[in-house]
A = this chain, B = another copy of it.
Amino acid sequence: MTGVASSARLVRSQGVTAPAGFRAAGIAAGIKGSGALDLALVFNEGPDYAAAGVFTRNQVKAAPVLWSQQVLSTGRLRAVILNSGGANACTGPGGFHDTHATAEAVAAALSEWGTETGAIEVAVCSTGLIGDRLPMDKVLAGVREVVHEMAGGLAGGENAARAIMTTDTVPKQVALHHPRNWTVGAMAKGAGMVAPSLATMLGVLTTDAVADATALDHALRRASALTFDRLDIDGSCSTNDTVLLLSSGASGITPDQADLDDAVLRVCDDLCAQLQADAEGVTKRIRITVTGAPRDDDAVAVARVIARDSLVKTALFGSDPNWGRVLAAVGMAPVRIDPNRITVSFNGSAVCVDGVGVPGARQVDLSGTDIDITVELGLGDGRGAVRTTDLSYAYVRENSAYSS
């Protein structure tokens, strides 16, 4: 990443409660049959309540996405309630009513605790199996408990990060401490169904910087386009993708837009790396960089076609430098290319120059965990990169053995 103050520190042991003015909690409300943590709350104590959000581009949107898009139109949020154990997607008007009732319950519990809050100030996020109604008795009892839990202390950030996990094996959180004494914190979940349009995930970012909704929106959209939108695990895009950014203004510091943009970008980039490393069935972390495209968008489009190709992904699972499959994928990209100008490198070793294989290409060692694929198209100055993973036995097992 360029343009980020080099002295800003990234700390993965901290998350959404790292910035001043935020509390969080995560509890087991019984939504998951396993008894694991499944309900999280992130609460903004102010003095500001500015917020922005980005959402799935899937035309089939879960009830909590429809709700949260609506409440975000005010540019203001006091709290985010998140559950795992059920996506509340494809649940019809009843499912939307459940989301609304959840937001009302959060507002009532927070008001009771002393912070006058309306449902319109509460975003809702859900993740889990599509198609089932949530067990609302457990959700509503859980809401009262999680507000009570949050009231008790400041250490709830990691519990919140744990409570949104589905097939994730580790919680994902990070905080960036800016040398000018403001902080961005974040948590995210997402392991499968990760693709264009926000990488199919839930994420909450918090900051104590002073920033209005417009500034937050700019920073979040730019960062998402460069990070989550360029993580493609399996080409599938969920109905529930949501990333929110809340500011409390509690630091009293107003960073300029470029500093805010860079901090948010760096936090999102780190979350992306964590999501990639914990993707379902992952054995390889793959970065595909395309250069020499007519435009940057074209480069990303070509990289995405490669990242989604099952034959490329299975070859890399087998540590097989089968560059022909990369060429075949490039040839199907929705971008006019010249096959005789394509040069491909695996981990820095050229395997194909001007569309023709080079001696020794089949001997390139891809046995390590990290694989860099670079494709030069020889057409212009456009460039872009996409992160992906391999297609392994474990991916098939995780996604066939049970409903998720």
Q: Which residues of A contact B (CB under 8 A)?
A: 57-61, 87, 89-92, 95, 129-132, 192-193, 195, 197, 234-239, 308-311, 314-315, 317-318, 320, 322-325, 327-333, 336-337, 339-340, 342, 352, 354-357, 361-362, 391-393, 395-397, 399-404
Quick check: A401 and B318 within 8 Å, CB to CB?
Answer: yes
Closest chain B residue to A355 by CB distance? B90
The 6 A-B residue pairs whose C-beta atoms are closest, nearest first, are A130-B324, A318-B400, A60-B331, A314-B399, A92-B356, A58-B331
Quick check: B235 and A60 within 8 Å, CB to CB?
Answer: no
Contacts of A322 in B (CB 8 A): 129-130, 403-404
Quick check: B314 and A357 within 8 Å, CB to CB?
Answer: no
Quick check: A235 and B309 within 8 Å, CB to CB?
Answer: yes
Give Cα distance in the complex from A149 to B403, angstroms: 55
Closest chain B residue to A239 by CB distance? B328
Quick check: B61 and A234 within 8 Å, CB to CB?
Answer: no
Contacts of A58 in B (CB 8 A): 328, 331-332
Contacts of A402 in B (CB 8 A): 318, 320
Q: 9 other contacts beyond A90-B339, A236-B325, with CB at 8 A cut-off?
A: A58-B331, A59-B330, A60-B337, A92-B356, A193-B328, A236-B329, A314-B399, A322-B403, A392-B396
Q: Shortest distance in angstroms between A363's beta carbon and chain B's nearest beta carbon?
A: 12
Q: Tell whether A310 pairs with B352 under 8 Å between CB atoms, given A132-B357, A339-B61, A357-B131.
A: no
A-B contact pairs, 9 of them (CB 8 A): A89-B327, A90-B357, A129-B324, A131-B352, A192-B311, A195-B332, A236-B325, A314-B400, A393-B397
